Amino acid sequence: MCGIYGFIGEGKVEELINGLKKLEYRGYDSAGIAFAKDGTLVVEKHTGKVDELRDFISNDLKDKIRAGIAHTRWATHGVPNDVNAHPQTDCTNKIAVVHNGIIENFSALRAQLQAEGHKFTSQTDTEVVAHLVEKYFEGDLLEAVRKAILDLEGTYAIGVLHADVEDEIIFARKKSPLVLTADGERSFCASDVTPLLSKNREVVFLEDGQIARLKAGTFEIFESSGKKVQPTSKYIEWSEKDAEKGGYKHFMLKEIHEEPRVLSDALVGRIKDDEVYLKELEGWEDYLKSVDKINVIACGTSYHAGLVFKYFFESLRPFNIEVEVSSEYRYRNVLIDDKTLTVAISQSGETADTLESVRLVKSRGGKVLAISNVVGSTLTREADKTIYINAGPEISVASTKAYIGQLVVLYLLALYLEKINGHDHKEIVQNVSKLPQLADNFIISSADKIENAAEKYVGYSNFMYIGRGINFPSALEGALKLKEISYTNAVGYQAGELKHGPIALLDEKFPVMAIAVDDKLREKMISNILETKARNAHVVAILTKGDESTAKIVDDAIFLPQLPDYLYPFLIGTTFQLFAYHVANGRNLNIDMPRNLAKSVTVE
Ligand code: F6R
């Protein structure tokens, strides 16, 4: 949440805006930049999106600067307005600070600094950092930041610029990511890799507690004790093009259309002769044989992927799997023994609650396997092992292709655990390996039909998604997708739960999305559909091709090909993503940046 960007070396003000643009999906309540001009600190900040800031400072964009820091905000402390936008400054108006995260002891620090004579102008927790740096600054900016962060409790990624210190900018992190790179003449730091891809794909991830000093073309890293450390770099495979819209109206639509490629990239090298190979799990064979319980932890869409995993694995053999949202799991008194495997799913690898759950598991001696999309993210560094989904950068705030990538990797994991335990599922492996083609055919043949169906439902304020068995998590995910981007009050239920309360909601203004594909629970689903029709609800049904009898009793049908039960969640996932997209598009909403949300929830 929130985006940080900064550079040092010859450049233009525009560079800061361009960097921020690529981070805007991290937060977009307000945006701001700071740079020094002839010993004077210039701060420009504005409520709203980065383009509004760009218009606001349009006359200055070509100005040459030696260094700058920039921020796009997702408000935590203080309403989104110009004053609370970052950068925040100190009393001398020489120091500018950008910050991601939450300073938990900011009230105490603020009171203490006020008692010492510091004057505050904003409601933000960030402003205390600017005043602390001012307090400790005696000519050495690195040292002042080092002392300031020793006073901070909570989470932070900060960038600091001093108008009198021309040749360096400082960054520091604790539990909120920062990535560094240099291109020979300039050095850059950002809260994720996307704005760095065009600079140099050899990057360094700052570790917790570390401080970076950037000079033109180089950077150094220090521990909080002041001891210098040798950075280790990582090469990022993603290209700059991966993070662009490529002709689509929105990133979300582009990312949905990438799903066949995502499936293929997630599978590549992992299936051979109808067997699953996960080289990431090498050395764990004996441990995995002994595992008798799997705890899955994740949030939001990743949690829904975890639920599908549970149903899929149980369809292979009875197994003890618990799936829990991380924000609950981390406060539970869970039993973790040496036969428990914890699987932490996070597209970004930076979700605060998932990371805290992982730390809980590790503090109790448990082993953690991460499923993530972001190379070098905090989760992947803290987990014992990681399987990457290789989906490429996901820019749209609503997760789409990463969900499909998570599903397929989780299927591979289940099949690999089966293989390790001597259970052979050749036919299932074969079917999983056909997913890229299946998804491709489906998108080509059905995208327009889904769009047509969605257009009829643009005007509704409510929606209920229902499913059973392995398709129940898809109901949750479909409802989440619709509510987050179209602001429809969408809810997901196990269809069997309808009679226990939710059916009271239904009438002609409350449509139902029912998953009634040709699986072992189809008949039960048809009964549920009839119950909803009896309450005058409009029903859109996801059916298997050829099911004309069910198509006759519903208002709209979207057909999927005949598939083994366990493959339906993939195509249903894509269907619901497209449906939500077209409802939101029909309402002309800002689909890639829905209100109140941000990519990567790095605060609790
Ligand atoms: C919904 C969505 C969120 C994320 C959730 C977890 O479309 O994107 O629900 O799935 O915030 O994020 P990660 O997977 O990065 O931990």
Question: Is 90 exceeded by the pLDDT of residue 29?
Answer: no
Q: Of the residues 21, 49, 175, 599, which is catalytic?
A: 599
pLDDT band at 345 (very low <50, low <70, confident <90, very high): very high
pLDDT value, residue 79 = 82
What is the rounded average pLDDT of the residues 491-512?
A: 97
Find residue 345's DSSP bridge partners.
371
Question: Is 90 exceeded by the pLDDT of residue 227?
Answer: yes
Question: What is each CA distance from 400 to 255, 347, 486, 525, 591, in whole angstroms?
Answer: 7, 10, 15, 26, 12
Question: Is 90 exceeded by the pLDDT of residue 80?
Answer: no
Compute the mean pLDDT over every residue in the chain, rounded to the nearest whole number: 95
Identity of the amino acid at 410: L
Domain ranges of the chain: 3-239, 245-433, 443-590
What is the rounded average pLDDT of the residues 571-587?
A: 98
User: Whose Cα sits closest to atom 9 in ligand 1?
Assistant: 300
**Is 189 assigned a catalytic role?**
no
pLDDT value, residue 239 = 83
Q: Which of 327, 351, 599 to mutate to test the pocket of ligand 1 (most atoms within 8 A of CB)?
A: 351
pLDDT value, residue 84 = 92
Instruction: Name residues contacting ligand 1 (CB within 6 A).
Output: 299-302, 346-348, 351, 354, 398-399, 480, 484, 600-601
pLDDT band at 596 (very low <50, low <70, confident <90, very high): confident
Q: Please give the share of the chain, as a percent, with pLDDT higher than 70.
A: 100
Sign of CA dihedral 141, 142, 147, 149: positive
pLDDT value, residue 490 = 98
Question: Is 80 exceeded by the pLDDT of residue 600?
Answer: no
Q: Which of 25, 176, 297, 302 to mutate to test the pocket of ligand 1 (most atoms within 8 A of CB)?
A: 302
- Helical H runs in 43-151? 50-56, 106-115, 127-136, 141-150
What is the rounded average pLDDT of the residues 399-423?
A: 97
Question: Is 80 exceeded by the pLDDT of residue 33?
Answer: yes
pLDDT value, residue 241 = 82
pLDDT band at 588 (very low <50, low <70, confident <90, very high): very high
In angstroms, the CA 398 to CA 408 distance is 19
Question: Is 90 exceeded by the pLDDT of residue 307?
Answer: yes
pLDDT band at 78 (very low <50, low <70, confident <90, very high): confident
pLDDT value, residue 178 = 95
Question: Is 80 exceeded by the pLDDT of residue 455?
Answer: yes
CATH topology of domain 443-590: Rossmann fold (3.40.50)
pTM: 0.86
Question: Is 90 exceeded by the pLDDT of residue 155?
Answer: no
CB contact at 8 A, 389 and 405: yes
> Do 245-433 and 443-590 agree at the fold level?
yes
pLDDT band at 423 (very low <50, low <70, confident <90, very high): very high
Domain made up of 245-433: CATH architecture: 3-Layer(aba) Sandwich (3.40)
Report the separation in Å between the CA atom of 302 and the middle of ligand 1, taken as the mean of its atom positions.
Answer: 6
Q: For the beta carbon of residue 4, count every other beta carbon within 10 angstroms.
A: 30
What is the rounded average pLDDT of the residues 101-111?
A: 93
CATH superfamily of domain region 3-239: Aminohydrolase, N-terminal nucleophile (Ntn) domain (3.60.20.10)
- Among 28-32, 204-208, 482-486, whose mean pLDDT is lowest? 28-32
What is the radius of gyration, based on Cα positions, of the chain? 25
Which 3 state secondary structure label does DSSP give 219? strand
**What digits encode the pLDDT tens for the residues 247-295?**
899 999 999 999 999 999 999 999 999 999 999 999 999 999 999 999 9
CB contact at 8 A, 436 and 263: yes
Question: Is 80 exceeded by the pLDDT of residue 51?
Answer: yes
Question: Is 80 exceeded by the pLDDT of residue 77?
Answer: no
144-154 burial string, b = 16+ CB within 10 Å, else e? bbbbbbebbeb
Question: Is 80 exceeded by the pLDDT of residue 599?
Answer: no
Question: What is each CA distance from 9 to 86, 529, 556, in whole angstroms?
Answer: 22, 64, 59
